[in-house]
Copies of this chain bind each other. A is one copy, B any other.
Amino acid sequence: MTRATTRKAEAGGEDQAAVPRRLLSHATKLFAKKGFDRTSVQEIVEAAGVTKGAMYHYFGSKDDLLYEIYARVLRAQTEQLEKVVSSEAPLRERLRSAASDVVVSTIDNLDDNTIFMQSMHQLSVEKQKAVRAERRKYHERFRTLIEEGQESGEFRADKPADVIVDFFFGSVHHLGSWYRRGGALSARQIGDHFADLLLAALRPE
């Protein structure tokens, strides 16, 4: 966990960003590219232009670095979902937005997402629990939306809501292994396709 925050000037570009931020950002890139285990602390600090000692001043361990990355993503996604869910729009619109948005934000943070999928099991059991708990909360909020529609008859009710949630988030989490920036479709286009497919799958028969 971050032991300190800094208030260094952030004008001038990456190289002058606060040390912890720089560490986090380079660690993210490297973890995504080579995997957590294959990335050495040495590589991280070299990329960030600091020394090992500096890293251990801010983060308790290599694990902590990973955990911070997770926590940041989870926080951001949860916040966003919260906003969409609690809006005034009709149910179908709220679900469509939530679905499309989570795709877009996943693509925008493809590295974090990749790490998430590949390295979670390398965290200490304790931290894994914390991460899973947060994730579960996220899924549950999404599920609530679906259940709401099942009760009102807007969505088919012959499939358990949690199976649908896992069905959809599987697709989302998998984006990292095939989506490439600069391809034919933009993040939003993928998001809309996915949202359409989800809503179509949910239409009552």
Contacts and interface: CB of A to CB of B under 8 A. Distances in A.
Contact of A174 (B37, B121, B173): B173
Interface string A144-166: 00000000000010011001101
Contact of A198 (B35, B169, B201): B201
Interface range on chain A: under 10, 10 to 19, 20 to 34, or 35 or more?
35 or more
Interface string A168-189: 1111111101100000010000
Interface string A111-149: 000000110011000000000000000000000000000
Main secondary structure of the interface of A (DSSP, over half): helix
Contacts of A164: 197
Contacts of A156: 200
Given A167-B171, A171-B174, A201-B201, 16 more contacts: A37-B38, A37-B122, A118-B121, A156-B200, A159-B196, A160-B193, A163-B185, A166-B175, A167-B193, A167-B194, A170-B173, A170-B175, A173-B177, A174-B174, A200-B202, A203-B203
Interface of A: 34-35, 37-38, 117-118, 121-122, 156, 159-160, 163-164, 166-175, 177-178, 185, 190, 193-194, 196-198, 200-203, 205
